[in-house]
Amino acid sequence: MTRSHDTREPPIELGFLLLPRYSMIAFSSAIEPLRMANRLSGQELYRWTTYTVDGDPVEASNGLRLQADAKLGELSGLHTLFICSGVDVEHACDR
């Protein structure tokens, strides 16, 4: 009798850094295909974490506030980090 081996790859780890007044539609348009890919495949192909500079909730350009999973200083082990901003990104940047 042969044993079946789980040949699944670990999920691709993605991060989303949400800057103040980020575009919610752009963020949602990035997350939803990942969520649907996980659902349709029946496995976790993608895993994502949301970050803010300080870990506190951040307000999108539409006024909705989102609680981040972590602060930027806790970032590690990602395949890719997406920086989500809006039209006034120059006001959200600092050292």
How high is the pLDDT of residue 1? 47
Residue 71 CA to residue 55 CA, distance in Å, equals 4
Residue type, 44: E
Q: Is 11 exposed, middle or buried (CB count within 10 Å of its CB: 0-12, 13-18, 19+)?
A: middle
Secondary element (H or E) of residue 70: strand 70-71
How high is the pLDDT of residue 7? 62
How high is the pLDDT of residue 9? 87
User: Which alpha helices (H) appear in 42-79, and where do they start and end?
Assistant: none
Q: What is the chain's pLDDT, residue by residue, as a tens digit (95 residues)?
A: 444 445 678 999 999 999 999 999 999 999 999 999 999 999 999 999 999 999 999 999 999 999 999 999 999 999 999 999 988 777 766 66
The length of the chain in residues reads 95
